[in-house]
Amino acid sequence: MARPICCRRVACEPASSYFKPRGIPLSSLETLALTLDEFEAIRLADLEGLYQEQAAEEMNVSRQTFGRIVESAHKKIAEALIDGKALEIKGGEIKMVTQREFGCNGCGHRWGVPHGTGRPAACPQCQSTNIHRVHEEGGPGRSRNWGRGAGRGGAMHHGRCWRRQAQSVDPKGGTQ
């Protein structure tokens, strides 16, 4: 029996859910599905330039899993470019993340910062520079208990993950 898919954190939705060759109607093209976690892997590795280990941490997966995700995404994108197919970005076992949480080691204050704005320099309450990133599992640093029998992803498997359902899209551009 295969292991269940670990919920992947995604911080960015695509601006467009379809990409296709110019001048060919979508209805006459073969379509490949690129999942939202594959889209996020491409964004982190190729656009942001993160190393696989850093990108894997951002997505809440192991480095090996991240490597498989990005390899699958590269293959689908290459196939679409070489064979003239359309790409539809949809679905996947994901958790949409809109901001990162930080905590102050001095006063204990916690606050959220939107993704893409960089790391804060100091605590907004006491101005201390002794701050840390608060991960979803509840403490500073990576506390996922990998290799300690707790299962990868810890609390991510207990109801906080959701499956992104594919939305039916009319080839003329509207959603149904």
Q: If you count them, how many residues does the chain have? A: 176
pTM: 0.59
Average confidence (pLDDT) per 10 residues, the chain, 176 residues? 71 85 93 93 92 91 94 97 94 74 88 77 91 61 36 35 42 46
- Quote the CA–CA distance of 44 and 67 in Å, as a whole number: 12
- Quote the CA–CA distance of 79 and 86 in Å, as a whole number: 10
In this structure, the strands spanning 131-134 and 99-104 are antiparallel
* Yes or no: domain 99-143 corresponds to CATH 2.60.40: no
Which pLDDT does position 49 carry in this prediction? 92
- Quote the CA–CA distance of 139 and 144 in Å, as a whole number: 10
Residue with tokens 């991240």, as numbered in its chain: 66
User: Domain residue spans in the chain?
Assistant: 1-97+144-176, 99-143
DSSP code string of 32-90: EEEPHHHHHHHIIIIIS---HHHHHHHHTS-HHHHHHHHHHHHHHHHHHHHHT-EEEE-
Which pLDDT does position 173 carry in this prediction? 47
